[in-house]
Chain A
């Protein structure tokens, strides 16, 4: 039983083994049948076993079962071994199959590669070649032959291959081939060749020598037409070079260039940009251009410009300012471009930035200058204009409205000829045409226009031609000056000139008359006149001269200067010469003997005058013989007068000294007598002595007054403004002190200033005041009045006497006088009252009249007995 179980298990194991093989090996069916066979055998064992169990164990053939077990073991072992064999076989077969597949695949690949190679060769113009260095025989692919311009079927050799190269290429290839053959050195050359069809080509040939036992048996290589490649390379090289140059230019450019991103970052910038902003490259990398470089007030404008740029894609140009690192502002002009990605979003901006500090300054200067010129042009009072070649105004400014009556905007578009009347337009049209044709400037061209109101306006035009860039005349630019007034003046001047000519004629006639008149005067003048030419020849002589010299006119005309007037004394010659030399007239009084033998004294005057550019000499002679004689006599009497004056002075002096001394003695000793010997004298004796004393004193006063009177004639006069009212008051004050008991009403009027000698006027007023004071002494209320008047306020006869002059009067209410004696009033020592009535010497009024008359004035008196006296005086002549 046990054997049965073991056998059955072995058969089951074999079946499982076979089943495993089924899964692992390809011969599934065979192994499946084996597996089933084992399973069936195992089943048979199981049945036997079951049988044994149900019946008994005797029914089992032990030996048969043992053999069965042995067979099962062998089967299992054989099956396992066979399985291994089969397995190995299966693997070999698979490998074989795989190798075969690979081969097929490789062939296909090869074929494909070959095709590709050929195709590639065609496309890339590349091919292969080889040659035997021993024989020189070679072969090449069709493409190589084609590159050489040959038929692919043509045979080739090394020599033939080399024959397509010339010059430097030939040397290079020969050298490379030689080295390849000799030393097995591979080469790779780019060479220029000329094909069989005469086309120049660039080729690349790579050679690889094949060695066998240190000997080169074959040289193989590739051959490629790189003409296109070369061209492309050249293009790339040029492009690259250009790019490098461009980059270099940008970098070195003075023009700041910068790239900015919408987010505020700065990209590439050049050195000029750094200079402009003051930041270094490194600093710029960390800077937000919108936040740092742009001043706040520019941000909106800039963003607006950039929005426009983003929308249109067209570069924008705008001005703004940069904030320099040092804080100052730099005015700049930006030219900004935009770069967008394919989707249309802004990638970055790049800008060319120009520092316009100087330009702004220049623009300002230009503006200023333009303004200045405009101001000058507009303030000149002229009309500034510009016109095209047809004379059509395209600009008008300045005083255009004042001159033409048209506003500038009215004028623009009008032709210059439209502003003229027909006649003037006809005249001016060809003139303008000629100027425009010759392109020459207009200088002081006179034109006549008609203003809007119809007034004729004359203009003086100055203009310069204006050209475009090609030198074509665009028109004229000029200034019109209004010369209408000048024209009118010229016209008036012309008329005046005509009138003048008439006048000249009249004048000529008048001159003729005058000439005749002059001649008559000359002839009848009581003065000798003679004219000489510069050579001394007498030219004309008048009657009086002939009479003076005592010769006939003919005799005189024949004379020359040197024998004129008795040979012409040296004095006359000298004067004549001096007059001719200096041109100044000369005068002298000379005594001479005339040719007629008369002794005469003549006063001569020499004058030079010019006739037809020839100097002439005129001699005028006055016979002053008589005058000189009378002058001599006068001088003699004047000397006598002076002498007597001196005597008079000496006399006055001695009077003042010597006449008074005895008087003093008389008075003094009379007094001494009275004092010392009074007791021996009776009353009558004393009276006599008193009378002696009184007489002496009175004589002293007389002498004083006389001296005063005589001095009036001798004093040197001065002329000043003198206030007679003040002088009167001073005199009256003095009198009031002398006579304090007197009550006198004093009235001093206004306007009492006169021109005269202060000392004399003081004497005058003192004497007049003395008089008034004295002769009013008996009045209860005396009144003295000093005033001034003109004739209109005076009664006759004073008004007649006063004439037009200012009168000063002195009035008193004293005793007055009888007008019958008025002529005695002013005489010296003349008195109208007795001494016992009024004291006085009678010299006072004589002094007054002399003092007034000495100054050329006038004095007179008016009075009535008992009714006061009035004295009138004036100093005006």
Chain B
């Protein structure tokens, strides 16, 4: 995957957004990071609707980092819709959440997430997790071309 591939971060907590961006920077991941604040915005971006209507719908991000606890449409629903749609069904989606609930894990995998990562409280660990995610999903992983 090219270095200019877009990574979509779906996160409502501005602290977490900032920390995530910091973790990306610290790990020299130079891909463009698009941040959306809730589930509805995430879907609008992906399907080029509403405020993102002038966006090229086929120009999909290389990776979606999805929080579960989101305003308007929660992360489970967003994931379900991504997998339902022909255009986005192969899109790599990594659940990045604070939740350690078993039910969230089971539901996320049921809906077809590619990975489930719990955000550690320790920033150092969080930063390591981000680095590994970037390395794996942006550099190593291959997916079918749409």
Contacts and interface: CB of A to CB of B under 8 A. Distances in A.
Contact of A664 (B16, B68, B69, B102): B16
Interface stretch (A1-9, A512-520, A598-606, A655-663): A655-663
Contacts of A670: 123
In which size bucket is the chain A interface? 20 to 34
Interface string B121-136: 1111010000000000
A161 interface: no
A693 B126 CA distance: 14
Interface string A95-116: 0000000000000000000000
B121 A660 contact: yes
Contact of B100 (A656, A661, A669, A699): A656
Contact of B99 (A653, A663, A711): A653
A668 B98 contact: no
A697 interface: yes
Given A665-B16, A668-B15, A672-B22, A656 B123 contact: no
What is the interface of chain B mostly: helix, strand, loop, or mixed?
A: loop
Contacts of B68: 657
A656 B98 contact: yes
* Of listed A658, A662, A664, A693, residue having the most chain B CB within 10 A: A664
Contacts, number: 64
B98 A664 contact: yes
B119 interface: yes
A172 interface: no
Of the listed residues A656, A668, A671, A693, the one surrounded by the most CB atoms of chain B closer than 10 A to its CB is: A668
Interface string A834-869: 000000000000000000000000000000000000
B13 A656 contact: no
Contacts of A663: 121
A355 interface: no
Given A657-B69, A664-B126, A700-B122, A669 B15 contact: yes
Nearest to A662: B15
B99 A664 contact: no
Given A657-B69, A669-B15, A672-B22, A664 B101 contact: no
Contacts of A665: 13, 15-16, 19
A668 B99 contact: no
A704 interface: yes
Given A697-B121, A700-B121, A700-B122, A664 B100 contact: no
Given A661-B16, A668-B22, A653 B119 contact: no
Interface of A: 652-653, 656-658, 660-665, 667-672, 693, 696-697, 699-700, 704, 707, 711
23 contacts: A653-B99, A657-B69, A657-B99, A658-B69, A660-B121, A661-B13, A661-B16, A661-B98, A662-B15, A663-B121, A664-B19, A664-B121, A664-B126, A668-B123, A668-B126, A669-B15, A669-B19, A693-B122, A693-B123, A697-B121, A700-B120, A704-B100, A707-B100
Given A663-B121, A664-B19, A670-B123, 20 more contacts: A652-B101, A653-B101, A658-B69, A660-B119, A664-B16, A665-B16, A665-B19, A667-B121, A668-B19, A668-B123, A671-B123, A671-B124, A672-B19, A672-B123, A693-B122, A700-B121, A700-B122, A704-B100, A707-B100, A711-B102
